[in-house]
């Protein structure tokens, strides 16, 4: 899809985007860079990150750090890289998320449940704490954006515990927003199905049928979420904190009609 040319809302700012080698994270990083930010991107695989850096144009305004999102050592390294390479940190986008378990909650393995919470919720808290320790909020305009999901707002058969984790992430967003105001704004985005490898199982067999559930007639594109994240991280959202922005192509309308 095409989108209007972005403004320059992030000139002079430094952002860190987790899980940004592809999909939504890469789209967020691309949008922030297009608007003037210098960006640190993270993901597990160095080769995927190398491809992402190339896709973002390379150059001096983007660096990558490979590691597991729920590793405290990786978090320290990535945040430290932002400070060392760019001089600080103004925007944190907690995009990392996993869903290794499908099926009813009554059959969920507890080890999978713990891992989902560690990556989808506790890691977001860890990234935020380390960003704060490194100076996030020292300058005006600091923001955290957490990537939640519509699965955290309503029952989602088959991916119920993923939804539980996203509900928890929304709760974390609210409480962090209350604690960190007015220095740092904290908001979340709750996308519906976006065309990424992560969600491919939800649409790849019959995309037209999946898209028919949306009043706007299509599935989400990563750029849609990149634009939403850029808005919440920008000065245009300067009086917004503790909120969850639902980006769902109008799907929620059908539950209210």
**Is the Cα dihedral 75, 235, 29, 161 positive or negative?**
positive
Phi-psi region of 221 (alpha: psi -120 to 50; beta: other; left: phi over 0): beta
Burial profile 161-178: b = 16 or more Cβ within 10 angstroms, e = fewer: bbbbbbbbbbebbbebbe
81-91: average pLDDT: 98
Task: Tell me the two tokens of residue 221.
Answer: 């594109």
Q: What is the pLDDT of residues 93-122, one digit of tens each?
A: 999 999 998 999 999 999 999 999 999 999
| CA atoms of 147 and 24, how far apart (whole Å) | 9
Nearest to 94 by CA among 178, 173, 33: 173
Which of 161, 162, 203, 214 is flagged as catalytic?
A: 162
- 162 belongs to the catalytic site: yes
Where does the pLDDT of residue 200 fall: very low under 50, low under 70, confident under 90, or very high at 90 and above?
Answer: confident
- CA distances from residue 183 to 11, 100, 139, 186, 187 in whole angstroms, order as listed: 19, 36, 8, 10, 13
To the question of pTM greater than 0.85 for the whole model, the response is yes
């Amino acid at each position: 899809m095409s989108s209007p040319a972005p403004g320059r809302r992030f000139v002079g700012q430094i952002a860190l985007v987790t899980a940004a080698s592809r999909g939504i994270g890469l789209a967020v990083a691309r949008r922030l860079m297009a608007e003037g930010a210098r960006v640190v991107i993270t993901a597990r695989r160095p080769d995927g990150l190398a491809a992402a850096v190339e896709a973002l144009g390379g150059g001096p305004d983007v660096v990558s750090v490979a590691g597991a999102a729920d590793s405290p050592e990786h978090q320290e390294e990535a945040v430290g890289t932002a400070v060392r390479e760019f001089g600080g940190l103004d925007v944190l986008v907690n995009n990392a998320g996993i869903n290794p378990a499908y099926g009813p909650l009554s059959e969920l393995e507890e080890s999978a449940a713990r891992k989902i919470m560690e990556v989808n919720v506790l890691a977001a808290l860890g990234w935020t704490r380390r960003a704060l320790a490194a100076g996030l909020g020292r300058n005006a305009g600091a923001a955290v954006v957490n990537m939640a999901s519509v699965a955290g707002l309503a029952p989602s058969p088959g991916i119920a515990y993923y939804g539980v984790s996203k509900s928890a992430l929304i709760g974390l967003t609210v409480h962090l927003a209350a604690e960190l105001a007015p220095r740092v704004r904290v908001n979340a985005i709750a996308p519906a199905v976006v065309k990424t490898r992560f969600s491919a199982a939800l649409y790849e067999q019959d995309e037209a049928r999946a898209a028919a559930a949306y009043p706007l007639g299509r599935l989400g594109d990563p750029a849609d979420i990149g634009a939403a994240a850029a808005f919440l991280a920008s000065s245009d959202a300067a009086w917004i904190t503790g909120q969850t922005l639902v980006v769902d192509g109008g799907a929620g309308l059908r539950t209210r009609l």
